[in-house]
């Protein structure tokens, strides 16, 4: 073997680790690990059924991009609902002054995609809503909005009171009330992620429990929804003072499964 051939073999061997790294990144799928906080928020507001929870995301092998995030929420009686991510918030820093006052620096965003790397954990407060609720109320809401615009454009000075007494408002209020489905018992939650590339998911399940008191308090929000809608409509009146809105929430303990 000539010195030139030996040099060629040595040069080729020097590329083997780099080639192996390229092949590893090309053919190995990322493993996404999700760790929920110990507590979560369950709600029912004008936005419908809500589930909010702080989650920590980690990725092994290589990074990943999440472009869809659903929760399949199954009651112990078999009733199953689907929630979809609707908001993300991240806390960057928390400062306390000498008096003990706390100032939090955070960012709120509408979710499109979430990038998870292998270097450090990503922590997000994720707000979930039920798409089915929006689909259910959309026709009634559109009818109310059309009636409101019609009466307002007609020049009738009493259009606000007519809207408040309209069948369109009654129908929207009725469909909202019938959309309340939280009930006492155990709920099993299964995480459903989507990504442009294949991945593995670890820790995709957890559960929580709602008590009868939790459900009773949440159901009181049905009346609060009517007050909230009335505030929006009557805001068209001069010098109108809106009634205060206070939503009830259920703070539930999270139990990891698996």
Each residue's pLDDT tens digit, 144-193: 999 999 999 988 889 999 999 999 999 999 999 999 999 999 999 999 99
Quickly state the pLDDT bin for 19 (edges 50, 70, 90). very low
State residue 97's pLDDT score: 58
Percentages of the chain per state (helix, strand, coil), in multiples of 5: 35, 40, 30
State residue 199's pLDDT score: 83
What backbone phi and psi angles, to 5 degrees, belong to 75?
Answer: -75, 160
State residue 258's pLDDT score: 72
Q: Could you tell me which residue, 157 or 69, shows the higher pLDDT? A: 69
Quickly state the pLDDT bin for 103 (edges 50, 70, 90). low
**Cβ(175)–Cβ(223) below 8 Å:** no
Cβ contacts of 56 within 8 Å, gap of 6 or more: 34, 35, 36, 37, 121, 122, 123
Cβ contacts of 90 within 8 Å, gap of 6 or more: 106, 107, 123, 124, 125
Computed over every residue of the chain, the mean pLDDT equals 87
pLDDT at 207 over 90: yes
Q: How far is CA 162 from CA 112, 229, 234, in A?
A: 40, 14, 11
Give pTM, 2 decimals.
0.82
Q: Where are the beta strands (DSSP E) in the chain?
A: 31-45, 48-60, 64-66, 68-75, 80-96, 102-109, 114-116, 122-129, 185-194, 200-202, 205-210, 250-253, 255-256
Mean per-residue pLDDT for 31-38? 93
State residue 69's pLDDT score: 96
State residue 52's pLDDT score: 97
**Cβ(65)–Cβ(195) below 8 Å:** yes
State residue 14's pLDDT score: 53
pLDDT at 127 over 50: yes
What backbone phi and psi angles, to 5 degrees, belong to 248?
Answer: -90, 140
């Amino acid at each position: 073997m000539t010195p030139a051939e030996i040099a060629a073999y040595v040069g080729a061997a020097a590329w083997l680790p780099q080639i192996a790294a390229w092949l590893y990144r090309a053919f190995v799928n990322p493993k996404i690990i999700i760790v929920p906080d110990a507590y979560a928020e369950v709600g029912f507001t004008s936005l419908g059924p809500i589930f909010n929870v702080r989650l920590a995301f980690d990725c092994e092998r290589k990074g990943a991009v999440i472009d869809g995030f659903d929760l399949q929420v199954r009651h112990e009686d078999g009733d199953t609902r689907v929630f979809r991510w609707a908001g993300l918030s991240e806390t960057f820093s928390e400062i306390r002054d000498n008096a003990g006052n706390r100032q939090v620096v955070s960012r709120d965003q509408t979710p499109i995609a979430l990038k998870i790397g292998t270097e450090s954990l990503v922590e997000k407060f994720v707000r979930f809503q039920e798409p089915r609720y929006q689909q259910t109320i959309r026709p009634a809401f559109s009818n109310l909005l059309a009636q409101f615009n019609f009466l307002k454009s007609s020049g009738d000075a009493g259009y606000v009171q007519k809207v408040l007494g309209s069948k369109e408002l009654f129908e929207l209020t009725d469909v909202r009330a019938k959309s309340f489905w939280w009930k006492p018992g155990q709920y099993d939650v299964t995480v459903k992620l989507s990504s442009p590339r294949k991945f593995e998911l670890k820790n995709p399940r957890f559960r929580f429990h709602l008590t009868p008191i939790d459900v009773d308090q949440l159901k009181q929000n049905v009346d609060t929804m009517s007050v909230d809608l009335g505030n929006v409509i009557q805001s068209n009146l001069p010098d109108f003072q809106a009634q205060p809105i206070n939503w009830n929430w259920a703070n539930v303990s999270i139990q990891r499964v698996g």
